[in-house]
Structure 1
Amino acid sequence: MSINGITGLDHLVVAVRDLDAARDAYGRLGFTVTPRGHHTELKSANHTLMFRDDTYVELLGIEEKRPANAHYADFLLRREGVAAVALKTADARAARDPLAAAGFPAEEAVDFGRPVELPGGTRDARFTITQIDPQTTPGGRVFLCQHHTPDIVWRPDSLDHANGATGLAALVVAADDPDATAGAYARLFGAPVVERGSARVVDTGNTPLLVASPDRLHWAWTSDPAFATPRPFLAGMVVRVADLEKAQQVLQKSKFPTVVGNGVLRVSSTSACGAMVAFARDFELDALIP
């Protein structure tokens, strides 16, 4: 069990330079993309891909550079892609001291929100987040996210996707030393590192974290340009779908190059705003990385 009340992965943050282009790209990939939201205090904007397993993907753009969004602004100077991972917690503020005691210093909690247009009028979706020192989470930014208004975020009209997506099956991290990278996350989640051939897997509570070296990930995503990124880095995701054939039909219509094999559909980071994306119905690690 987690040392600090973390109950799993909440969402991935894909930082993008052009939010309209990102919305269109993920729409072509068959996702239902929510209308644009604006984080009033953080001066950022987003679209989301909401899933029935209580996870989601956030496409995030910067409206005005502020200290609160500096991480994402700096990230976008280098590239687009998965810039952060949000973890589920019932109390982001209370988790700060236990995190620090376990070797994961964290910043003061921040409260913020974004207005959401609903049939009955506008309501604010409210969150509290606690940022973990990125020096302790190899590959990217990790923060705890507490939802105060989950009913506004997971709206019934946003959960069905043309590609049949139902949730996040895995977070993929590229590392030259998978043991060291996976070990850091194992301490955070209070879980063992499981060896699966050349890959390392850490149970987060819901969506497993998969760490592998670029040469092994290369088998799945061929010569993806994201592999030029300094390692370790948050490479991408595996999305679980209800019907693989349906997902493949949608991807064919998208005209994005897709690698098909072993029951997994793989899309390059060039098609998904810097994130390597795979689709699978019954996710088996050996099908992604033999």
Structure 2
Amino acid sequence: MPDPSTKILDHIPHLTPPGTLQASADAFRKLGFTVIPGGTHAGGATANALVVFADGTYLELIHFVRPPAPDDPNPWARKQPGWIDYAFLGTGGEPSIADAINARAEKEGTGDTVHYAESKGGRRREDGKVLEWVISSTGEGLRGALPFFCGDVTPRKWRVPLEPRSNTEHANTTLGVSYIKLLVASDNFDASKKQLSTVLGAQPHTAIGTLASWDLEEQPAYIGVHNSAPQLVLAVAQDDEERAYVQEHGPGIFEVGFLVSDATKARSARTPFGRAVWQTSGAASGN
């Protein structure tokens, strides 16, 4: 049996401080997004709202219902607000995403740092429907620098409600995610590039100096929404703002690019705690 794909973008979590989910949803609406209800995760510590796109991906607006305890095992409990992580599509069972990546890491010599484990997760929607999934993730030290994987046990359409069509219609004309831009310190660039190549199962299609980028795959059911493949971009922090971001947040997402259908909507802006760019093509800006 061939290994499952490990480079299909699924969703991007955006964290805001405890108790601020409604304010976060309002802020994203002001940016031109349609925000729909999510639900409360298993255990009750976190809840979310969703921004769903026509390409089958989505943004997860998430908060802790109450401030997490210092020893909270949730890997996001100690994250600074903003773009805290990114998820690729998992399998929800067999074949195992974790097994496939771990075997690849051993073969490629990255097994000392790249190791994935699986755990069960879920969420109760506001309408009472209970969702179940399998998470494949690295240790906390690499969360946000390397992707985690979310594989559905229950139907994915329960987790990503693209219907009714109004769920994916946005005033800013966003169709989907164009790129994710990761920043690292200069001394981490080579190791990060090698780790990401192992996880994605592919070498970067562009690797020039302090920048590398990989073509990601579209959600299988929504191929054709993009005019070019979504990109994962890895870059070394260059200016004072970028270096300060890496120092405060560690390696991870600095900016998310969105594909829009209306060129007049192209612009850059800030979410409550992150950077966003709207554009009509898939190339990342800067660096």
TM over 0.5, yes or no?
Answer: yes
String of CA shifts for 1:49-100, please: whole Å, max 9, x gaps: 101111111011112547776222211xxx2111111111223562222233
1:181 to 1:92, Cα distance in 2 relative to 1, 3 A: farther
- The within-5 A match list for 1:228-247 is 229-245=248-264, 247=265
Give the equivalent residue in structure 1 for 2:35: 33
Contact 1:199–1:212, Cα closer than 8 Å, also in 2: yes
- The within-5 A match list for 1:52-71 is 52-64=54-66, 65=68, 70-71=74-75
Aligned-partner SS, 2:238? helix
Contact 1:48–1:56, Cα closer than 8 Å, also in 2: yes
Alignment of 1:130 with 2:136, yes or no, is: yes
- Give the structure with the larger helix fraction: 1
String of CA shifts for 1:113-136, please: whole Å, max 9, x gaps: 22243xxxx42333221222244x
Moved more, 103-112 or 182-191: 103-112
Moved more, 188-197 or 169-178: 188-197
The count of aligned residue pairs is: 255
Deviation at 1:160, TM superposition (A): 0.7
1:55 to 1:280, Cα distance in 2 relative to 1, 3 A: same
**TM-score, normalised via structure 1 length:** 0.77
Contact 2:6–2:90, Cα closer than 8 Å, also in 1: yes
Alignment of 1:183 with 2:180, yes or no, is: no
Contact 2:119–2:135, Cα closer than 8 Å, also in 1: yes
1:30 to 1:230, Cα distance in 2 relative to 1, 3 A: closer
Identity of aligned residues (%): 20
Aligned-partner SS, 1:273? coil
Contact 2:183–2:234, Cα closer than 8 Å, also in 1: yes
- Structure 1 unpaired stretches of 5+: 248-263
Letter in structure 1 aligned against 2:253: L
- Tell me how far apart the structure 2 counterparts of residues 46 and 91 of structure 1 sit (CA, whole Å): 21
Deviation at 1:204, TM superposition (A): 3.2
- The within-5 A match list for 1:198-209 is 198-206=210-218, 207-209=230-232
Contact 2:259–2:282, Cα closer than 8 Å, also in 1: yes
Deviation at 1:172, TM superposition (A): 0.7
Contact 2:38–2:125, Cα closer than 8 Å, also in 1: no
Aligned-partner SS, 1:154? coil
**TM-score, normalised via structure 2 length:** 0.78
